[in-house]
Structure 1
Amino acid sequence: MTETARNTIKSYFDAFNGGDTDGMLACLSDDVAHHVNEGNIREGRAKFADFCAHMSRCYDETLTDMVIFASDDGTRAAAEYIVNGTYLETDDGLPEARGQGYRLPAGSFFSLRDGQITRVVTYYNLADWIAQVSE
């Protein structure tokens, strides 16, 4: 069970790093709950896809130094990584985008059922990101 969970999370992040939203969506359950850092919970694949489209427009990101953890029963997992990004287009309520680069630690927590992700929670330090893109 642990290996199945780890493989699902690895596939999800491999798709992220490859810019493959469809690949990410394939890892999610239809009723996925997406808990966005500093944001609301979005439910369902369609809202997750909308979020990905928005993020791709505003940010170009690659995740490195990935470490994936999974519970013995395969129902929960977590990952810690470094976000390496470029701020492409100004996001509502955030500093103006001018192609600034940033690098910050982040983490995600997951619930899984039948080999699919049912919950995604992502955390990073927004104040750190703002400081980096405001320099």
Structure 2
Amino acid sequence: MSALRVISRYYDGCSAGDVEGMLSTLHPDVVHYFLAPNVGSAPVAGAEHLARYWRKVTGMIAATWIIDAIVESGNDAVIEWTMMWTPPETGEQVATRGSEWFTFTDGRISEIRSYYQQRNESTELDGFPYTQRGYSTLATPASAIHIPAGAAQ
């Protein structure tokens, strides 16, 4: 299975809070590293722990993750993504843009290194032509390569 398919299934599981769906994509010894000083920047280790972590996060902020671009090489893939979510402080949906490096072992995700800044307002590259390049936007929560499971098509 391609890295895009595995990561899409993982993100669809994250977005739905589907622990079993996430577990089907994760190596038992997975470690997810986060960029500090974001809230919750300590690494999360173990497939079960990571899946339950994302179920909790999704429930708190109504998050949906969308893959916007991917580069695959050997046992690694690097993606750009958008997380549509609702900060409890504002109640207004925002889009957080980020990148992640995935490493695979035996066809499952064994390491994730996440690079983004989570703020209560939308964050993105200034002047980047997101719509023209097929990336997701608040108005169109799907990209040219990933329509989240359960999204209206």
Same fold at TM > 0.5: yes
Q: Which runs of 5+ in 1 are unaligned?
A: 89-96
The CA distance in 1 between the partners of 2:51 and 2:117, in whole Å, is 23
Q: Is the 8 A contact 1:35 1:41 kept in 2?
A: yes
Residue aligning to 1:94: none
The CA distance in 2 between the partners of 1:64 and 1:6, in whole Å, is 11
The Cα of 1:119 is off from its aligned counterpart by 0.4
Counterpart code for 1:119: E
Q: Which runs of 5+ in 2 are unaligned?
A: 123-153
- Root mean square deviation of aligned Cα: 2.1
The 1:65/1:25 distance shift into structure 2, 3 A limit, reads: closer
Of 88, 96, 121, 1:104 maps to 96
Residue aligning to 1:92: none
Q: Which has the higher helix share?
A: 1
Aligned residue for 1:125, secondary structure, equals coil
Counterpart code for 1:54: K
The Cα of 1:113 is off from its aligned counterpart by 1.0
Of 47, 68, 86, 1:45 maps to 47
The CA distance in 1 between the partners of 2:114 and 2:93, in whole Å, is 20
Residue aligning to 1:78: 78
Q: Is the 8 A contact 2:79 2:101 kept in 1?
A: yes
Runs (4 or more) in structure 1 with deviation over 6 Å come to none
Q: Is the 8 A contact 2:19 2:52 kept in 1?
A: no
The Cα of 1:18 is off from its aligned counterpart by 3.8
- Indicate yes or no: 2:109 matched with 1:117: yes
Counterpart code for 2:83: V
Counterpart code for 2:69: V
Structure 1 window deviating more from structure 2 (57-66 vs 34-43): it is 57-66
Percent identical among aligned pairs is 24
Aligned pair count reads 118
Q: Is the 8 A contact 2:35 2:115 kept in 1?
A: yes
The CA distance in 2 between the partners of 1:112 and 1:65, in whole Å, is 17
The CA distance in 2 between the partners of 1:108 and 1:22, in whole Å, is 22
Counterpart code for 1:35: Y
The CA distance in 1 between the partners of 2:105 and 2:70, in whole Å, is 17
